[in-house]
Amino acid sequence: MEAALALEAHGTIFGVRIQADASEREWNGDERAVTRFLAGDVAGFEQIVRHYSSMIFALAARMVGPAEAEDVVQETFLRAYRGLESFRGESSLKTWLYTIALNRIRARHGALARLRKLFVPGQPGPDREDGEALDLVADAADPADGPEEAALAMERRRRLRVAIQNLPEEFRTAVILRDLQDLSYQEVADVLHVPIGTVRSRIARGRALLKEELS
Amino acid sequence: MSAHPQMARIPDEELDLLLSRSLDADLSPDEERDLERYLSGHPEARQRRDALAAIVADLRKLPPREPPFALASRVHNTVTEKSTGLASVWHRFGIYPAAGVVPAMAGVMALGLALAVYYDVKRPPVVREQAQKPDDGPLEVFFQESTASKKEKAPAVEEDRLAAKGNEAQPAAPAPAPPVVAGRAQDRDDRAPAKDKEQARPAESKLADASPADRSSAGVSTDEGGARSRRADGPVPAQALAQDAAEPARPIVVAEAPQAKPERQGEKRELAKSASAATARREEASGFANETTRVVPAGVGSVTGSAPAAPPAAAAPAPAPPSARVYSVSISTGSDSWRVARPPSGIPPSPLAATLFRLTLDADGRVTAVRAVAAGGTVRADVEEMLRALALAPVGRGGAREVEVRVEVR
């Protein structure tokens, strides 16, 4: 049990869901974790990593593909580790981490895309294929659906993912943060450092583009 | 007729915004009501809303990407490791190099540095000089008087010493009288007995012995304007020394004839010799030709003033004057086409008869002809040789094949 607890708070080993010790794994909130960390207790930062790493990974996987997502998560938390002392709580820890992650994603994605365009013109980015490969595994069909419905649903999701990837970056980020990461308009505005009106129009425009793409 | 008054058609983009906000429950109750009224009157808007709602529903049903197993533990361990190791230096600047990138970059940089050093050493000196002086401003050349030129002047001093010794050895002989530059008869007469002892000491050491305050009376006269002393690079004209001597307020060293006055013809000759010797002594005492303090040795003739002779043991070298002369070579006309790339190797004579010269160049900037702008166009041979050694470099595409060059000696 001790070893299992050391692995992951909500991991699955041999199909058995591990329930973490409540006193050790309970999320105490951003402020408390930050306070612990700033007091010199590394366990405070560990709590932050455990709570947010899945969200950051999901965002990174959507943006750059799962192959690079783990690196993005590491870089994000490495930066957070160094910058947490200067974190003033003007925004929430969640939006602060998302902002760092998006900056790292832009840096990696931009550099990779430029390199790929330079050396292999016309080749799609790595996130498309890798992402689709992973989603085929993740998109387990609903057992209630018949084979035909399951196949149609999978095809619809595949097309949707492709459509998302084809969106311009500013619309894609806004849509992913709102519809896939479930951030509020205000949180999206905080992450992107844009006015909330801009967020509304970007999300609306992104959704409209998706509709056109899929219709 | 519809129960609702016909509402003006909302543009698609604006309608999409309202529908999108409606799906996120971001509209106020009034806005929501107005939208519902509009949708009830516009079936195409309702279709648009339904399609958009389906897309949003699909988006939200997309399964989240599951993180890899034990991601949080790995990330935490990696972060704590990197935050304490050498890599933290890179990460502090926002650099996350892949493994092996840093050594590779260091190797490339070392190779580049080595190549740069190698080619810099291999580059010929002229090219290096051009690279260092991209501007076409005046090229100033500092130079120290060579020992050769000092040695050339040394015999004059030695000649004076020998003459003085000769006087000592044969005091009664009616030797050719030392030149009289200027002086006051009573001073000469008053100090005549001390002269012989004074002659035994080199003039320079005596000058060094004297305190700065006493120097003016001990034979060191400071030129306030410095105009004449700056001319003293070459032989100082006797007339100039005579003018100095004629000024009553300024103590002037007098090289005198103690007994016999020379004949007029001999006097002129000796005057010139004395002036030349005095110049040589001055330069020897100062060490440099363009010294602004004129030094005239007191040992040859009688000395005006009443400076006590310091003991020879206290002799010390004269204070070092500024150690360099300078001349500048600049292109006055044609500087937009050519620039001086390398100074000439020679040292211009001073004073120059002409300072402005017109040079004819070939396509490579080599000087093919030299003419003085003034002085009837004639150029002294040594000046011409010096100017022909100039290396000019084109500015842009070069251009005119004639430039005017100014040479100034300071």
d(CA A164, CA A213): 9
Nearest residue of B to residue A182, measured between CA atoms:
B60
Amino acid in position B334: G
pLDDT, averaged across chain B: 61
Give the containing element (helix H, strand E) for B357: strand B356-361
Q: Which CA distances in Å does B372 have to A8, B352, B353, B386?
A: 93, 11, 9, 13
SS (H, E, C) chain A: CHHHHHHCCCCEECCEECCCCHHHHCCCCHHHHHHHHHCCCHHHHHHHHHHHHHHHHHHHHHHHCHHHHHHHHHHHHHHHHHHHHHCCCCCCHHHHHHHHHHHHHHHHHHHHHHHHHHHCCCCCCHHHHHHHHHHHHHCCCCCCCCHHHHHHHHHHHHHHHHHHHHCCHHHHHHHHHHHHCCCCHHHHHHHHCCCHHHHHHHHHHHHHHHHHHHC
Q: What stretch of H or E contains B326?
A: strand B325-333
Spatial distance between the Cα atoms of A9 and A5, rounded to a whole number of angstroms: 6
Residues B176/B182/B186/B189 CA torsion (nearest 10 deg): -20
| SS3 at position B28 | coil
Structure-token pair, residue B395: 């500015």
pLDDT above 50 for B312:
no
**What gap in Å lies between CA B242 and CA A30, rounded to an integer?**
98
Supply the pLDDT for residue B93. Answer: 63
pLDDT band at A115 (very low <50, low <70, confident <90, very high): low
Give A145-207 as a 3 state SS string.
CCHHHHHHHHHHHHHHHHHHHHCCHHHHHHHHHHHHCCCCHHHHHHHHCCCHHHHHHHHHHHH
- B87 Cα to chain A: minimum distance (Å): 11
For residue A172, give the nearest of A207, A126, A197, A196 by alpha carbon: A207
Enclosing H/E stretch for B291: none
Closest listed residue to residue A71, CA positions, set B260, B174, B78, B19: B78
Q: Which residues contact A203 (CB under 8 A, 6 or more apart)?
A: A171, A174, A175, A178, A179, A185, A188, B20, B24
User: Measured between CB atoms, which of B52, B62, B63 is closest to A207?
Assistant: B52
Measured between beta carbons, the chain A residues lying within 8 angstroms of B92 are 82
CB nearest A49 (choices: B24, B66, B75): B75
pLDDT at A185: 95
* Residue numbers in B near A165 (CB within 8 A): none
Shortest CA distance to B367 belongs to which of B392, B346, B345, B348?
Answer: B392
Cα B241 from Cα B271, distance rounded (Å) = 10
**Per-residue pLDDT, B359:** 85
Whether residue A50 and residue B76 make contact (CB cut-off 8 A), yes or no, is yes
3-state class of B219 per DSSP?
coil
pLDDT for B74-122, tens place per residue?
888 888 777 765 555 665 665 666 666 777 888 999 999 998 888 876 6
Q: Comparing A40 with B94, which gets the higher pLDDT?
A: A40
The rounded distance, in Å, linking the Cα atoms of A193 and A172 is 16
* Mean per-residue pLDDT of chain A: 77
What's the pLDDT tens digit per position in B156-194?
Answer: 444 444 444 444 444 444 443 333 333 333 344 444 444
Residue numbers in B near A79 (CB within 8 A): 91, 94
C-alpha pair distances (Å), B27 with each of A101, A197, B32, B36, B173: 30, 12, 6, 11, 129
Dist. CA A70–CA B68, nearest whole Å: 8
Structure tokens that stand for A131 in this block: 């992402």
* Distance between CA atoms of residues A164 and A180, nearest Å: 11
Are B252 and B296 a contacting pair, CB within 8 Å?
yes
Whether residue B369 has pLDDT greater than 80: yes
Tell me which chain A residues have a C-beta less than 8 angstroms from the C-beta of B69: 7-8, 11
Q: Which residue is closest to B98 within chain A, CA to CA?
A: A71
User: Closest Cα of chain B to A122: distance in Å?
Assistant: 26
What is the predicted pLDDT for the residue at B344?
67
Contacts of A25 in chain B (CB under 8 A): none
Determine which of A13-17, A137-141, A189-193, B102-106 has the lowest per-residue pLDDT on average: A13-17
Lowest mean pLDDT among A148-162, A166-180, B288-302, B320-334: B288-302
Q: Is residue B408 over pLDDT 70?
A: yes
| pLDDT winner (highest mean) among A84-88, A196-200, B257-261, B331-335 | A196-200
Confidence of residue B309 (pLDDT cuts 50, 70, 90): very low
Which of A49, A201, A211 lies nearest to residue B51, judging by beta carbons? A211
Which of A108-117, A178-187, B68-77 is the most confident on average?
A178-187
Residue B308 burial class via C-beta count within 10 angstroms: exposed 0-12, middle 13-18, buried 19 and up = exposed
pLDDT, tens digit, for every residue of B248-278? 333 333 333 344 444 455 554 554 555 455 4
pLDDT tens track for B198-251: 444 444 444 334 344 343 333 333 333 333 333 334 343 444 434 444 443 333
Mean per-residue pLDDT, A106-129: 60
- pLDDT tens across A62-76, in order? 888 888 888 889 889
Kindly write down the DSSP assignment for every residue of B174-188, as one continuous string.
-PPPPP--S--HHHH
pLDDT tens digits for A165-174?
899 989 999 9
Report the C-alpha gap between B91 and A9 in whole angstroms. Answer: 28
Confidence of residue B302 (pLDDT cuts 50, 70, 90): very low
pLDDT at B253 (0 to 100):
32
Q: What is the rounded average pLDDT of the residues A115-132?
A: 51
Which residues of A are less than 8 Å from B45 in CB distance? none
Nearest chain A CA: its distance from B105 CA (Å): 18
In B192-269, the DSSP E strands lie at 220-222
Q: What local confidence, expressed as pLDDT, does residue B310 receive?
A: 40
Assess contact for B285 and B317: CB atoms under 8 A. no
Q: Per-residue pLDDT tens for B118-148? A: 887 666 555 444 444 444 455 555 555 444 4
Better-scored residue on pLDDT, A155 or B309: A155
- What pLDDT, on the 0 to 100 scale, is given for residue B372? 85
How do residues B145-159 score in pLDDT, each as one tens digit?
Answer: 444 444 444 444 444
Which position has the higher pLDDT, A175 or B215?
Answer: A175
Average pLDDT of the segment spanning B377-401 = 77
pLDDT above 80: residue B295:
no
C-alpha distances (whole Å) from A136 to each of A124, A132, A151, A157, A160 are: 18, 6, 11, 10, 13
> What percent of chain A lies above the pLDDT cut of 70?
70
The whole-angstrom separation of Cα B316 and Cα B300 is: 20
Interface probe, candidates B13, B21, B58, chain A, greatest A C-beta count within 10 A:
B58
Contact B326, B343 (CB under 8 A): no
Q: How many CB pairs under 8 A join A and B?
A: 133
Which of A55-64, B163-172, B377-386, B387-396 tops mean pLDDT?
Answer: A55-64
Which of B104, B131, B136 lies closest to B116, judged by CA? B131
pLDDT reported for residue B224 = 36
Burial of B369 (0-12, 13-18, 19+ CB in 10 A): middle
- Residue in B closest to A156 by C-alpha: B58
Residues of A in contact with B76 (CB under 8 A): 45-46, 49-50, 77
CA distances from B228 to A133, B108, B279 (A): 95, 62, 12
Distance CA B201, CA B21 (A): 110
Of A4-13, A27-36, A86-95, the least confident? A4-13
Instruction: Give B193-205 pLDDT, tens digit per residue.
Output: 444 444 444 444 4
